[in-house]
Amino acid sequence: MTDSVETPEPREPRGEGTGRRGRRAKRGPLGRLALFYRQVIAELRKVVWPSRRQLTTYTTAVIVFVVVVILILTMLDWGFSRVVEYVFG
């Protein structure tokens, strides 16, 4: 029993060796801008947008989290300022 592993033939990159230039080379600056715009719109259509209820829930969670962090940092700042006043008079 022989184990032979065939290696695939190297493929030529697209557009090379055929005498044709790629599609990208044919477009001018306005054509590339239009292509970019179409691609952006196509990607935005794939986005799953949250419902109003989900958006309200996420926004509330973020606001509560920020308020909690502000309170923690305020207490730490107050505590460190008291320690500095005590140490340095």
Query: Is the residue at 80 inside a domain?
Result: yes
pTM of the shown model: 0.51
Residue 16 domain flag: no
Domain range for 66 is: 23-88
Q: Would 71 be classed as within a structural domain?
A: yes
Angstrom distance (rounded) from CA 83 to CA 77: 10
Query: 16-59: per-residue pLDDT in tens?
Result: 555 555 555 577 889 999 999 999 999 999 999 999 999 999 99
For residue 63, being part of any structural domain is answered with yes
H-only helix segments in the chain? 23-26, 29-46, 52-88
In a domain, 9, yes or no: no
CA–CA separation, 25 and 72 (whole Å): 57
The pLDDT tens digits for 54-89 are 999 999 999 999 999 999 999 999 999 999 999 998
Given this model, what pLDDT does residue 60 score?
Answer: 98
11 found inside a domain: no
Number of structural domains found in the chain: 1
Q: Considering the domain boundaries, does residue 51 fall inside one?
A: yes
Is residue 10 one of the residues assigned to a domain? no
Give how far Cα 83 sits from Cα of 72, 73, 74, Å: 17, 15, 14
